[in-house]
Amino acid sequence: MPCFYVCLDIRLLEFRYLANMKTTKGKAARSSKEALKPVDDIKVGKRKAVSKPEKSSKRQTKKEKKAKKDPNKPKRPPSAFFVFLEEFRKTFKKENPNVKAVSAVGKAGGEKWKSMSEAEKAPYEAKAAKKKAEYEKLIKAYNKKQESPADGGDEESEVNDEDEEEEAQEEEEEEDDEDDD
DNA sequence: ATATTGATTGTTACT
DNA sequence: AGTAACAATCAATAT
């Protein structure tokens, strides 16, 4: 696609973003625009086209040219919403086998997510928190490796006993305090 | 044929 | 402090 289209898109996105910030200062922005829009015609709009920010693209879209992909680099932990989405996707696809657009699931999931109460989101957040904890551990190891990729040593070409410390699989205790009234 | 977009929110890393 | 990018997903689209 021509770059000027992207530029225009970015400009529009920026404008919208600034407008949202002015109106509601932050996260409620998305909710507001959705609130004043009928669900039938929710245009929710592209949240943020993953395009080059016209500036130094340090975190480019995927793999531009630099930014070597490190298979060791742990991917970011799924947020509570994503944890919920994973489950929601199954349900949604089950009820809507004809729908193949990921955006449909995304929208539906988003609405459902907002519809859910904190108590319902709690288990997902708990799981997300655990994922985050593991991520921190992984990223720590990753950073260390990045810092000291090669241990200063005259290691001969022999079997490399690089036993990466496996993540301790501690069983998570699920608390079921579902006490209805 | 392969990389990317589309859409969601949350979260993280960077500035 | 704040924002931009990315996390899954899968089919379709664009290059």
> What's the average model confidence in pLDDT over A108-130?
91
Average pLDDT of chain A, as a whole number = 63
Q: Is the pLDDT of residue A7 over 80?
A: no
A138: which residues sit within 8 A by CB, 6+ positions away?
A: A74, A167
Residue A133: what pLDDT? Answer: 92
Band (pLDDT 50/70/90 cuts) for residue A67 is low
Which residues neighbour strand C (beta carbon < 7 Å)? A 1, 14, 17, 21, 47-48, 50, 52-53, 57, 59-62, 75-76, 78-79, 82, 85-86, 89, 93, 100, 102, 105-106
CA distance A115 to A104: 16
Residue A167: what pLDDT? Answer: 47
Between the CA of residue A35 and those of A9, A38, A103, A150, A155, what are the distances in Å? 23, 7, 19, 54, 63
Q: Is the pLDDT of residue A115 over 70?
A: yes
Residue A73: what pLDDT? Answer: 82
Q: Is the pLDDT of residue A43 over 90?
A: no
Band (pLDDT 50/70/90 cuts) for residue A149 is low
CA distance A110 to A92: 12
> What's the average model confidence in pLDDT over A54-73?
57
> What's the average model confidence in pLDDT over A85-98?
88
CA distance A84 to A159: 44
pLDDT: is A76 or A25 the higher one? A76
Among the residue ranges A24-28, A111-115, A163-167, the one predicted with the least confidence is A24-28
